Amino acid sequence: MSKRKKIAVLGGGSWATALVKILSSNTNEMYWWMRNEEAVIFINEKHKNPNYLSDVNIDSSIVKASNDLKFVCEKADVIILAIPSAFIVSTFSPLEADLSSKIFFSAVKGIIPEKNELVGAYIQKKFNIPEKNIGVISGPCHAEEVAMERLSYLTIACNEIHKAKEMAISLACPYIKTTVSSDVYGTEYAAVLKNIISIAAGIAHGMRYGDNYLSVLISNGLKEIQLFLDAIYPLDRNITNSAYLGDLLVTTYSKFSRNRTFGTYIGKGYSVKAAQLDMNMVAEGYYAVKCIKEINEKFQVKMPITYSVYRILYEKMSPSLEFKLLSEELS
């Protein structure tokens, strides 16, 4: 893909920066869109993102940074989304362009709060993209470790497996190992759900629950993910694969996990607003838990961890009381 098709990354955060670092090592030309014009100028002149992963060098002879969304999308054959889910609609609503022939891969790991819709599904409808041209990039891969070139693993999912394989080739490098899958919806939903479990793990950590409790919480979280995936999109999938269990583990345990960090603030007694302001980053799980709860009204999957997190974040229930009740439901 890197030789035949031009790739664009949309987003200006740490994950977008990490993806640009990986992809630019495998191509001679690519595009990078972000909203912040000052950051674009800085990248083109100083070859670094001034706001995220600023130690990463960007080769501006390869990477063409721009804040012109239409220009970048029209230049690219393959578009990778790394924009927080809460800003997807506001980013694309004003865009008037025919993108029906493009291939999209979502690396968002979130769900669109206004629509209770996966990012891939929204893009498919918005730009009349064939389902075969929608894919997902997921797996246990924190941007900060990519910046340090620590060995990481990505799963690339697409209904047309050869397109997943082509993207995998573009992402593979000495510190990135790739696998491919055809489970697009399962991979994308798992990436959304693990953020909710990660917030729960953070809340428990903030309230000084120990590792013993966390291990039970996370194993029950995996059970919730499996039950939900089986209900919403039945498929013979191995839930212990890295795109599911691996991503859940790194998000619930790692110091780089913003969802775990957000949960830790809540567990320590911060309000949602105070935690968000102090972090200055988007915790996708905050939006995801409300969306998943509403989607689950149709499926009625038993999800005690998800519902506890929802009540804490949206109904201002006491974390200590919720977790006391939750502890009776875990096994």
CA–CA dist 223, 245 (Å, integer): 10
Q: Which of 299, 262, 267 is nearest to 282 (CA)?
A: 262
Positive/negative CA dihedral, 99, 105, 111, 117: positive
Structure token digits, residue 274: 């105070």
CA–CA dist 180, 182 (Å, integer): 7
CA–CA dist 269, 266 (Å, integer): 5
DSSP symbols for 295-318: HHHHH----HHHHHHHHHHHS---
Q: Which of 126, 274, 259, 150 is nearest to 205 (CA)?
A: 259
Looking at 64, 163, 194, 293, which residue is catalytic? 194
Q: Which residues contact 280 (CB under 8 A, 6 or more apart)?
A: none
Active site residue 194: yes
Q: Which of 173, 178, 2, 180 is nearest to 80 (CA)?
A: 2
CB-neighbour burial class of residue 82 (10 A; exposed 0-12, middle 13-18, buried 19+): buried
Q: Which residues contact 195 (CB under 8 A, 6 or more apart)?
A: 109, 110, 251, 259, 283, 284, 285, 288
Q: Cite the active site residues.
A: 194
